[in-house]
A and B are shown apart, each in its own frame.
Chain A
Amino acid sequence: MNRSHRHAAGSGCLGTMEVKSKFGAEFRRFSLERSKPGKFEEFYGLLQHVHKIPNVDVLVGYADIHGDLLPINNDDNYHKAVSTANPLLRIFIQKKEEADYSAFGTDTLIKKKNVLSNVLRPDNHRKKPHIVISMPQDFRPVSSIIDVDILPETHRRVRLYKYGTEKPLGFYIRDGSSVRVTPHGLEKVPGIFISRLVPGGLAQSTGLLAVNDEVLEVNGIEVSGKSLDQVTDMMIANSRNLIITVRPANQRNNVVRNSRTSGSSGQSTDNSLLGYPQQIEPSFEPEDEDSDEDDIVIEDNGVPQQIPKAVANTESLESLTQIELSFESGHNGFIPSNEVSLASIASGTNTEFETPAPNQKLLEEDGTIITL
């Protein structure tokens, strides 16, 4: 009653409505015709104008009568906001990219003060991580689990993007043996295992790899039958975009998708592994390209520049290898990250040519030198 009275009083007062708009630490006060609020776009433009932020994408919110922060993003909720304002329409503006969506909602009623303080002090809400699907171009992936849908749940395929980070890959592998179930019973077969994670390395920081995980594939190629040195060379050759399929030593964190699970045994018993690398191989092709077009050429002692890819003319089209051709079609979902990464690595190498990197390792004895 009381509220409606005040509402009536306010509305009866002038037919105008006072608006208090806050953007960052700045307030703007202005008034609107309550009867003719206009369209949301006009209001949005007006806010940008009064705050002098004409080209900034913003999120607009208001405090409703319950103290909840509610968004204004179309004509309907704009009109609702205007009609319920009593007497003051309190507007909160946030930059879209800094938006804290968690501030919106209905259960913020009791924590009204908190809501506002959250909005007022943007650094505060960092403590509360919240998953937001947005703006991937601002981030650089360092690792991911991929192909969950096609792998058995006892396996995990991890992609490490050495590219986007200065961190070392930071892991070691060793020979070992694992037990497989075969038609002839249990069989011990040689395998490759992760033997050590370097503290602070990429492998450790992802949390996706652990000591004693068995390495099954490297970039889609099975390691069974390959020697430790061979697998080492494959991993190093693929180090800029390393995809390793492991059977984690700890099988308790597996996602159980269906009842087909092979049980809790750490030494799992999957023979179907042999079957699917061929099927899934195409999924690696798009990425296969990225590490390679970044060779650098310096012409006439000039500035280092990235070597471009030659445009295939009719003659050389014929000459393309099968591997090469499969790359052509590849770029699908990863174009943005590739481009960004390419640019960053190119600029990174520029500096390498001009100034020596600060911390250099001492020369090590290297067994690979062939003097013969």
Chain B
Amino acid sequence: MRRFLRPGHDPVRERLKRDLFQFNKTVEHGFPHQPSALGYSPSLRILAIGTRSGAIKLYGAPGVEFMGLHRENNAVTQIHLLPGQCQLITLLDDNSLHLWSLKVKGGASELQEDESFTLRGPPGAAPSATQITVVLPHSSCELLYLGTESGNVFVVQLPAFRLLEDRTISSDAVLQRLPEEARHRRVFEMVEALQEHPRDPNQILIGYSRGLVVIWDLQGSRVLYHFLSSQQLENICWQRDGHLLVSCHSDGSYCQWLVSSDTQQPEPLRSLVPYGPFPCKAITKILWLTSRQGLPFIIFQGGMPRASYGDRHCISVVHDGQQTAFDFTSRVIDFTVLTEADPTAAFDDPYVLVVLAEEELVVIDLQTAGWPPVQLPYLASLHCSAITCSHHVSNIPLKLWERIIAAGSRQNSQFSTMEWPIDGGTSLTPAPPQRDLLLTGHEDGTVRFWDASGVCLRLLYKLSTVHVFFTDTDPNENLNAQGEDEWPPLRKVGSFDPYSDDPRLGIQKIFLCKYSSYLAVAGTAGQVLVLELNDEAAEQTVEQAEADLLQDQEGYRWKGHERLAARSGPVHFEPGFQPFVLVQCQPPAVVTSLALHSEWRLVAFGTSHGFGLFDHQQRRQVFVKCTLHPSDQLALEGPLSRVKSLKKSLRQSFRRMRRSRVSSRKRHTAGTPGEVQEGSAKAERPGPQNMELAPVQRKIEARSAEDSFTGFVRTLYFADTYLRDSSRHCPSLWAGTNGGTVYAFSLRVPPAERRMDEPVRAEQAKEIQLMHRAPVVGILVLDGHSVPLPEPLEVAHDLSKSPDMQGSHQLLVVSEEQFKVFTLPKVSAKLKLKLTALEGSRVRRVSVAHFGSRRAEDYGEHHLAVLTNLGDIQVVSLPHLKPQVRYSCIRREDVSGIASCVFTKYGQGFYLISPSEFERFSLSTKWLVEPRCLVDSAETKNHRPGNGAGPKKALSRARISGTQSDGEGALATGVRLERPWSVASAMAEQSE
């Protein structure tokens, strides 16, 4: 009868499963891929970024994040936050306008789209007649002025987007109201600028591309002033008091115009080409900002000398005789300056420049001398060098955490001390219950340590392995060191640097022991480094060793890259993780697996040729094992496709990472990526027609021992278990290969008191060949209670129960196709779960995770979290290998997303949705990190910049005013009163 009992039929288990598992994509970390628009609300202190895939993301204080996705997959070209409101308008490149709002639901704000609208002209009119170029939200928040390519300005009423046709300011009407001498200009020119008068809401400024600028009286429908420039207009800025206009032009010049009724000046007050006299590129945007000190800040984008610096992406800041051209490594999308938010204040007093570049956000402190950058608490450019691997460590001990932060803070001396100025909204997320680290390895040989505990992924510390090796780059090269009289005064800012000096430096595997602070990293050229955390800078020699993985394989010639040349003498290392052992595999193929056992002081590493074990205490090699199939011998001397293909696959993977994947975002509307890119306007074509275009075929053949890459070491695992007999357990090392072979070595590690005197010995004890020959992707030993063995030192630190060494141990081998449990020490097959044979999916990632129950505080189960090549995530129970739940998570075509996935020990995970963004997901009901925040429109965080730490004071004042009810409005008060309750309820929900 038991055979008819399906897992789904046990109601008790089903209820328990609901308490343990639930799938959520919770938050996106990193920098939005392909940003296309920037918006900022001075009143909310919220930053908005739109992307080419139609996403909008809002950021305020750390932890305050919102994301919205337009139904259409069109680029967001403009974002305007309505002054003083929790509302924003987006313009897409299909000429549609969308109204979004932040609404409070259940104690937390949510971003939702309210209305959308497309401006349509009369039938038969040219599309350009209604093609919107500029959007001006009026300060009344009831009207939107829409400048178009035809030169007409349309007016729509919010929130319903009702077109007020009688209020349209047509270019003809403007022309008729111009004095005679100005009428000779061509009228059919597009509107380039629309500005509301800073003091008088009845006046707006309209700038046309051919150089005509008018100030229009909305009440009287007349031209109050007009200005004529000889150059094509790019943008215009109105001084805070409304008496001065500054226009910028396509020839790299900007002009100041005085607005005064007594002089209708045909000529500008002043005209200047900042980077002349040779031809310059256009200045596309300019801001003229007054300051208390008297001299204004002039901040403009572009305008560089065309011939010599035309390819730079620069924003120049001019103030009080200082001028700096901030030089970005990627295209500047837009910039904004944080100024005095109170519209009635006399001065702008700019304090922060926020620049959205294509690949990163750069924030510059304008109050501190030297204009240093401000460190970002979020929106970090994960991909400043391409990510090549990642590693997650849960529950970091406080001591290690503090030491890493201390090491990191010393690296951040160039940053401003200013507190994060974009601090709108309130995060309701409770403090993270534990400290989690996400380590990313990069193509340039660096490892970045991220605080992954909460909603904000924040860079803690950056480790570079480059100093261990000789490289082509000159270490003295300092991009910031420019000569005094250099012109233009360029200054490199930002961290995005896609150019790797040497691809061999790339980090491929990372293993951190959180208890001993030992770190092992391994790279593309077969280099394995063991590092130790040191709070002091040190000058030390890195012990070097070579691991010849081919051993007695004769006549083999490696035709790939050479191994890295290591520095022989002492090297100076900054405080932080400092390498002390370097093992270089020979041949220097990419390291494919790595394991560190900090208690035994051993590091194991594997490549496509074999694996080795190194004793980093005594600094000597214990053994190496060649896993190449004997028959590969002939092949190795042949055309050597191994080398080529490894390089190629590496290159492809990088390419994949960098490739723009516009449609990578989760979308509610179904549709294949191809269709999405073609645009939603086209009718969906039926699937079969598309499929016929690709006449691909696949060979059906059983795997054999002779298939290529069988020796590729996929996984390494240390375990203290019963390898030889059931009476004695001993340390062991397990290795799994691409050809379905598992090797087990018994190790003899000398006791601590003789650890330096006696050598570590290893002996091969077992070799298991899985007959289905699928690659082995995971090995795990379960103790007598069928619980996975604890991590090294976990028991010593009282963080785990001692494993049960009485009952018999079991070995779990996970191949890409099957899960199999064997008994130990006598290997006999006990259980299995076939995945591929039944579902056609293959295991890509597998990891043990602890799932806590949301009901019972101390109840939890260990299971396997599994990601398949189809992008599905499954939970498979331990030790019974019963599939528990299955969720589709990543698109199956998203190969780099699937390859980048990393699971945490508590049922969460991360994968790259673009080269620069991690999606965080959770399989657990208990461990869930997602933004939950409140944004309140009536709360005014009034900020008056002073000298020094002005924003800090302002911030604290704002927080005080936020918590004290000053009766500024019924809604606002209500929300404020609600807040303590909602925090409490949020926490209650979390701990439920």
Contact = CB atoms under 8 A, between A and B. Distances in A.
Interface of A: 162, 168-177, 188-190, 195-196, 218-219, 221, 226-240, 291-301, 304, 307-310, 312, 316, 319-326, 328-329, 345, 349, 352-353, 356-357, 360-372
A362 B712 CA distance: 16
B592 A324 contact: no
A230 B870 contact: yes
B405 to A, nearest CB: 28
B638 A240 contact: no
Contacts of B590: 371
A331 B125 CA distance: 78
State which size class the interface on B falls in: 35 or more
B697 A195 contact: yes
A372 B388 contact: yes
Nearest to A191: B688
Interface string B830-846: 11111011111110100
Contacts of A370: 653, 844, 899
Given A291-B771, A298-B769, 18 more contacts: A169-B700, A169-B701, A175-B695, A228-B696, A228-B698, A233-B817, A233-B869, A234-B837, A237-B817, A300-B764, A309-B828, A321-B880, A325-B2, A356-B631, A362-B634, A362-B639, A363-B632, A366-B708
B697 A234 contact: no
Among A232, A294, A366: residue with most chain B CB under 10 A? A366
B698 A173 contact: yes
Contacts of A322: 3, 5-7, 882
20 contacts: A177-B692, A226-B840, A232-B700, A233-B841, A239-B703, A292-B818, A298-B767, A300-B764, A307-B768, A307-B828, A321-B882, A322-B3, A326-B3, A329-B3, A356-B630, A361-B708, A363-B638, A363-B641, A369-B709, A372-B900
B874 to A, nearest CB: 14
Interface of B: 2-3, 5-7, 388-389, 508, 590, 592, 629-636, 638-642, 644-646, 648-650, 653, 686-688, 691-692, 694-703, 705-709, 712, 724, 738, 764-772, 774-775, 817-818, 820, 822-823, 827-834, 836-842, 844, 869-870, 879-882, 892, 896, 899-900
Given A233-B836, A297-B767, A322-B6, A363 B691 contact: no
A309 B826 CA distance: 11
Among B3, B653, B832: residue with most chain A CB under 10 A? B3
B827 A237 contact: no
Given A238-B837, A295-B829, A372 B592 contact: no
Given A360-B635, A361-B635, A370-B844, A323 B771 contact: no
Summarize A's interface: helix, strand, loop or mixed.
mixed
A270 to B, nearest CB: 18
A231 B629 CA distance: 29
B680 to A, nearest CB: 23
Contact of B840 (A170, A177, A231, A239): A231
B638 A172 contact: no
Given A190-B688, A307-B822, A234 B840 contact: yes
Contacts of A229: 698, 840, 869
B732 to A, nearest CB: 13
A298 B769 CA distance: 8
Contacts of B767: 297-298
Contacts of B708: 361, 363-366
Given A295-B770, A307-B828, A171 B700 contact: yes
A320 B880 CA distance: 6
Contacts of A364: 641, 708
Nearest to A325: B3
A240 B702 contact: yes
A239 B698 CA distance: 14
Contact of B635 (A162, A221, A362): A362
A226 B869 CA distance: 13
A237 B837 contact: yes
B766 A299 contact: yes
B700 A236 contact: yes
B631 A360 contact: yes
A319 B810 CA distance: 13
Contact of B766 (A298, A352, A371, A372): A298
B769 A295 contact: yes
Contacts of A310: 822-823, 828-830
Nearest to A218: B840
Contact of B709 (A295, A356, A366): A366
A138 B190 CA distance: 90
A233 B823 contact: no
A291 B772 CA distance: 8
Contacts of B686: 188
A227 B892 contact: yes
Contacts of A369: 645-646, 649, 709, 712, 738
Nearest to A240: B702
Contacts of B7: 321-322
Among A226, A237, A296, A309: residue with most chain B CB under 10 A? A237
